Amino acid sequence: MHITTFILHIIEYLLYAYFAFAAVYVLIFAIGSVMSPKSKPLTANHLRKIAVLIPGYKEDSVIVDVAKEALNQNYPKEKYDVVIIADSFQPETITKLKELPIKLIEVSFDKSTKSKALNKAMAELPVDYEIALILDADNVMATDFVSKINDAFEAGFQIVQGHRVAKNTNTALAILDAVSEELNNSIFRKGHRALGLSSALIGSGMAFDYQLFKKRMTEIHAIGGFDKELELTFLRDGYIIEYLNDALVYDEKVQKVEVFENQRKRWLSAQFIYFERFFFSGVKHLIVNANIDFFDKVYQMVSPPRVLLIGLTTIITAIYTAFQLIFPEITACAISYTLWLSVWGSVVVAFILSIPKQFYNTQTLRALLTLPKAFFSMFISLFRLKGANKKFIHTQHGTT
């Protein structure tokens, strides 16, 4: 009986330590995002030649409009090319794309991945590009996006992440997805840069020194989460990732539960795989090279996703609250209740600081009613990760 009690206490302490650290972590960077100084605008003297690379897999419903939108930049036309990497498109879509002033590269693989598509495209493209700008097949850039990316490279950065925002908020799930993205933007991008660490990459709306990216991509063979592997290897090698909060690229938010589940399952699987792959390397670089940036990124691979963080801390705090009400005379219950309440409170404050003001409205409040469903879907995904990173999981777009 004593052994069982001891084991339960150990589990309780470990669980508390895990969530307490995660709560303090997001709170610190949420505060950093609020205190982040506004960057001084820089106008580049050198206009770099840019390849806007847009890989797409069966994206017939959106790709033509996305290609047209990508051509509408206030950047000299001769200084950037829109490159559509077409994987498994319909013949009529290919015909429409060929009518546009873009570069079209058709690819086909037994097992499709974004990494393969990008590598194939860069193998065929000219070598005179200076920046590789990566978009998803549903992304639409603000008209000044390319110019702001070029300005950041003028400041000396070689890797830059733009501010990805919601293209649509037409369903409750899309609103929650939009809020989740802005939470991550505040904590893992804006807040990190404010406190001197690198921004997180997000898979699109990101730009790299072209030759650096081309060389590194030959070493990337990820099926899912290729941006995580890029991020980890670049931070390991000492590169800084900049974040442009005012450079906007619009991204379609998920609207169906099954799409949400598949997307999150892919993300969770990638995180665990890369944590396992880079953990010891992260510890080594922290001790030997004082590489906090890299170790911080390794920790992010095992930190709880924001939906699970708020959901699980709420449930655990509610349980301890009930025990405190039923057994107020037990000191241990009172201590546990106080500790978990502080964890939950830290998460809530971090979220309040991180969510942009435009989401504080009745529409978001109604969307929050579906949060338990989103939490349950993501929680169940934790037990369905087997094989998720061994096959390409496509997120369907064009249903807005």
Tell me the mean pLDDT in the region 338-342. 94
| 389 inside domain | no
| In the predicted structure, residue 394 carries a pLDDT above the cut 70 | no
- Count other C-beta atoms under 10 Å from residue 288's C-beta: 8
Asked if residue 100 is part of any domain, the answer here is yes
Tally of structural domains, the chain: 1
Q: What is the DSSP string of 165-182?
A: EES---SHHHHHHHHHHH
In a domain, 322, yes or no: no
* pLDDT value at 393 more than 60: no
Please tell me the predicted confidence (pLDDT) of residue 300. Answer: 96
Average pLDDT over residues 373-380: 80
Tell me which residue of 228, 66, 48 sits closest to 149, measured CA to CA: 48
What pLDDT shows up at residue 392? 56
What does the pLDDT read at residue 376? 82
Number of other CB atoms surrounding residue 338 within 10 Å: 11
116: Cβ contacts below 8 Å, ≥ 6 apart: 107, 109
Six-digit token string for 19: 């969530």
**Rounded average pLDDT over 63-92:** 96
Query: Residue ranges of the alpha helices (H) in the chain?
Result: 2-35, 63-70, 91-98, 114-124, 145-154, 172-184, 191-194, 210-217, 226-236, 257-289, 292-300, 306-326, 331-354, 362-367, 371-381
The rounded percent of the chain whose pLDDT value lies above 90 is 69
Instruction: List the beta bridge partners of residue 83.
Output: 53, 103
256 belongs to a structural domain: yes
When pLDDT is cut at 50, 70 and 90, the band that residue 339 belongs to is very high
Average pLDDT over residues 271-275: 87
Tell me, what's the pLDDT at 386? 63
Q: What is the pLDDT at residue 333?
A: 79
Residue type, 170: N
Residue 315 lies in a domain: no
Query: What's the mean pLDDT when you consider all of the chain?
Result: 90
Q: What is the pLDDT of residues 12-21, one digit of tens each?
A: 899 999 999 9
Split at pLDDT 50, 70, 90, the class of 142 is very high
Query: Among 93-107, 190-204, 236-250, 382-396, which stretch is predicted with the lowest mean pLDDT?
Result: 382-396
Angstrom distance (rounded) from CA 379 to CA 66: 34
* CA 292 – CA 284 distance, rounded (Å): 11
Residues in the chain: 400
Strands 241-251 and 140-141: antiparallel
Tokens 């405190």 belong to residue: 324
Q: What is the pTM of this model?
A: 0.91
The amino acid occupying position 115 is S
- 340 in any annotated domain: no
- Domain ranges, residue 104: 50-260
pLDDT score at 101:
97
Question: Which residues in 209-232 are b (16+ Cβ under 10 Å) and which e?
Answer: bbeebbebbeebebbbbbbbbbbb
In a domain, 346, yes or no: no
- Any idea what the CATH number is for the domain that residue 135 is in? 3.90.550.10
In a domain, 345, yes or no: no
Nearest to 359 by CA among 190, 183, 113: 183
Among 5-9, 156-160, 190-194, the least confident range? 5-9
Tokens of 195: 């406190």
